[in-house]
Amino acid sequence: MRQSLGELYSTVRKAAVGRGVPHGIAEDLADAVCWLDSLSLDGVSCAVDCLSQWPSNTSAIQLQHSESGLVLETAKPDTAASALFAGPALGDLLQAGAVPDTGSSLSVDVPLLVLAAVAQTCDRLNRRAWLMIHLQGQIAIADCSQETCQLGTVSQQKSVTAHKASEVTLWLSQPDQGRRTLNCLLSKEEFSRCRSRTLAEGLEVCGRSLKQLEAWAALTLVAESDRSRESGAGAGLLDND
């Protein structure tokens, strides 16, 4: 289903608010989804996965002090953090320059949304950072900097201390991948082509997932009646949404 960036942003933001997400976090989610879909990474389905688990099946995030500096921990032990909080939290660490030399790791429900948040923070601050996403059997590494993001995968050998399937780690320096070969999934050139194509042609998004977002967005509407209008419902002279 074809959508413009503005249409998709509005739908995702309203869907998040309809699910009870705070407005500021809803805007962050909409930004992340548009970024992902502009690269054909199906951010719409990521949003549905994230909002479906909100808030009961995920955890909030706590900022703790440790010997290595500030660390992020989930409020509920052994529960993945919601990407709604994890992405902005890692972005805040990056902005504050508080990412430890050993990296900052966190288990999250939808890692791609975290990738989008980190990449957008790097672009906004003109900084560079690496995000490792530990998947079953392989590791994805994103190299994020101003106006671009490169993504690749490396094979991961089995070990006793295997990472959780949804763990992400933020680094300020390029992580050591040993002798393993990085298989490029998204190059600088492809990143630029995708972004330019999005601005010119719009986005092709998952229709089924979009309908779910539209259903949640409809929860922000109220019935048309004299009583609702007296309470402030309806468009005013300055409303453009």
Least confident of 43-47, 57-61, 169-173: 57-61
132 against 163, higher pLDDT:
132
Averaged pLDDT score across all residues of the chain? 84
199 against 136, higher pLDDT:
199
Residue 149 has pLDDT above 60, yes or no: yes
Nearest to 7 by CA among 191, 204, 220: 204
26 against 2, higher pLDDT:
26
State which H helix or E strand residue 152 sits in. strand 148-155
154 against 32, higher pLDDT:
32
* pLDDT for residue 177: 63
Rounded distance between C-alpha atoms, residue 164 and residue 168, angstroms: 9
Name the pLDDT band for 161 (thresholds 50, 70, 90).
very low
Query: What residues pair up with 145 in beta bridges, in sequence order?
Result: 148
Nearest to 133 by CA among 168, 82, 175: 168
Name the pLDDT band for 42 (thresholds 50, 70, 90).
very high
Phi, psi dihedral angles at 25 (to 5 degrees):
-70, -35
Residue 138 has pLDDT above 50, yes or no: yes
Rounded distance between C-alpha atoms, residue 139 and residue 135, angstroms: 6
* pLDDT for residue 183: 85
The tens digit of pLDDT for each residue in 177-233 reads 665 667 888 898 999 999 899 888 888 899 999 999 999 999 998 777 777 666 666
pTM: 0.84
Rounded distance between C-alpha atoms, residue 64 and residue 205, angstroms: 38
Rounded distance between C-alpha atoms, residue 99 and residue 82, angstroms: 20
In angstroms, the first-to-last Cα distance of the chain is 21
* pLDDT for residue 74: 81
Query: What residues pair up with 63 in beta bridges, in sequence order?
Result: 72
Residue 158 has pLDDT above 50, yes or no: no
83 against 134, higher pLDDT:
83
Rounded distance between C-alpha atoms, residue 53 and residue 159, angstroms: 30
What is the domain partition of the chain in residue ranges? Answer: 2-220
Name the pLDDT band for 154 (thresholds 50, 70, 90).
confident
Peptide bond connecting 175 to the previous residue in cis, omega within 30 degrees of 0: no
